[in-house]
Amino acid sequence: MYFSVFFLFFFIYGILVFFFTFLMVSGYALLTTYFAVHNNLPPALLFSFSSLLCAFFIAACVVQWW
Protein backbone atom coordinates (compact mmCIF):
# COMPACT_ATOMS: atom_id res chain seq x y z
CA MET A 1 0.00 0.00 0.00
CA TYR A 2 2.67 2.49 0.98
CA PHE A 3 4.84 1.45 -1.95
CA SER A 4 2.07 2.17 -4.47
CA VAL A 5 1.41 5.62 -2.97
CA PHE A 6 5.16 6.34 -3.06
CA PHE A 7 5.39 5.21 -6.69
CA LEU A 8 2.33 7.28 -7.65
CA PHE A 9 3.83 10.38 -6.02
CA PHE A 10 7.10 9.97 -7.91
CA PHE A 11 5.23 9.25 -11.16
CA ILE A 12 3.23 12.50 -10.86
CA TYR A 13 6.40 14.38 -9.85
CA GLY A 14 8.27 13.06 -12.89
CA ILE A 15 5.43 14.05 -15.22
CA LEU A 16 5.35 17.55 -13.74
CA VAL A 17 9.13 17.96 -14.02
CA PHE A 18 9.06 16.75 -17.62
CA PHE A 19 6.12 19.05 -18.49
CA PHE A 20 7.73 22.17 -17.01
CA THR A 21 11.06 21.31 -18.62
CA PHE A 22 9.33 20.89 -21.98
CA LEU A 23 7.63 24.27 -21.56
CA MET A 24 10.91 25.97 -20.63
CA VAL A 25 12.84 24.40 -23.52
CA SER A 26 10.14 25.16 -26.08
CA GLY A 27 9.96 28.76 -24.89
CA TYR A 28 13.74 29.04 -25.10
CA ALA A 29 13.70 27.63 -28.65
CA LEU A 30 11.02 30.15 -29.65
CA LEU A 31 13.01 33.00 -28.11
CA THR A 32 16.24 32.03 -29.87
CA THR A 33 14.42 31.68 -33.19
CA TYR A 34 12.84 35.12 -32.66
CA PHE A 35 16.18 36.76 -31.90
CA ALA A 36 17.80 34.97 -34.84
CA VAL A 37 15.15 36.26 -37.22
CA HIS A 38 15.34 39.83 -35.91
CA ASN A 39 19.15 39.99 -35.74
CA ASN A 40 19.80 38.21 -39.08
CA LEU A 41 21.78 35.46 -37.38
CA PRO A 42 21.89 31.96 -38.85
CA PRO A 43 18.82 30.30 -37.29
CA ALA A 44 20.13 26.78 -37.87
CA LEU A 45 23.00 27.41 -35.44
CA LEU A 46 20.70 28.64 -32.69
CA PHE A 47 18.18 25.90 -33.40
CA SER A 48 20.87 23.22 -33.11
CA PHE A 49 22.04 24.81 -29.86
CA SER A 50 18.51 24.88 -28.45
CA SER A 51 17.88 21.28 -29.54
CA LEU A 52 21.15 20.30 -27.82
CA LEU A 53 19.93 22.08 -24.70
CA CYS A 54 16.61 20.26 -25.02
CA ALA A 55 18.41 16.92 -25.19
CA PHE A 56 20.47 17.90 -22.13
CA PHE A 57 17.34 18.77 -20.13
CA ILE A 58 15.62 15.54 -21.15
CA ALA A 59 18.72 13.58 -20.10
CA ALA A 60 18.72 15.46 -16.78
CA CYS A 61 15.05 14.54 -16.29
CA VAL A 62 15.80 10.90 -17.01
CA VAL A 63 18.73 10.91 -14.58
CA GLN A 64 16.58 12.58 -11.94
CA TRP A 65 13.80 10.06 -12.61
CA TRP A 66 16.13 7.12 -11.90
- Mapping DSSP onto H, E and C, the string for the chain reads CHHHHHHHHHHHHHHHHHHHHHHHHHHHHHHHHHHHHHHCCCHHHHHHHHHHHHHHHHHHHHHHHC
1 lies in a domain?
no
3 lies in a domain?
no
**Which amino acid, 22?**
F
Model pLDDT, residue 2: 66
Model pLDDT, residue 65: 65
Give the chain's radius of gyration (CA, Å): 16
30 lies in a domain?
yes
- Under the banding of pLDDT at 50, 70 and 90, the label for residue 29 is confident
Average pLDDT, integer, range 34-51:
68
Question: Could you tell me the residue range of the domain that residue 21 belongs to?
Answer: 13-65
Q: pTM for the complete prediction?
A: 0.43
47 lies in a domain?
yes
Domain total of the chain: 1
Model pLDDT, residue 44: 63
pLDDT exceeds cutoff 70 at 18: yes
20 lies in a domain?
yes
